[in-house]
Amino acid sequence: MKRVSILLSVFIIIFLVLAFLLVTGSITKYTGYFVDNTISNEKFKSCLSNQDLKLYINSVEVLKNLNFQYLSYFKIIDCKISKDEECKNINKPLWSINGLLIEGEITEDDLSQMSSCKL
């Protein structure tokens, strides 16, 4: 009787350990992975550096008011000096991303979609 009790206890412990490993493995599979934003961000920046990015402005003051993290990847064109076609009748900042134009403000998602660079 004592021997049966010990064997039963051992089997229960083994079952509980295996169940624990299975459950924790499943939980880790769905929640344990994390995205390293540093690597993703570096790939995004690297991709941006290979794009044709321009920002047309009609005043240097506009640059002071822009709070855009990736502004350094854009070639800034002052429309008071430039004779580019895009500079005609410009009232707001005009973003050119690989030839596609957006007037006004853009988001990181806009930049990602238009440049085909994944965030």
pTM greater than the 0.85 cutoff: no
SS (H, E, C) 50-113: CCCEEEEECCHHHHHHCCCCCHHHCEEEECCCCCCHHHCCCCCCEEEECCEEEECCCCHHHHHH
Question: 25-48 pLDDT, tens per residue?
Answer: 766 666 655 445 555 688 889 999
Question: 83-97 pLDDT, tens per residue?
Answer: 888 888 888 899 999
Q: How many CB atoms lie within 10 A of CB 28?
A: 10
Average pLDDT (45-67) is: 88
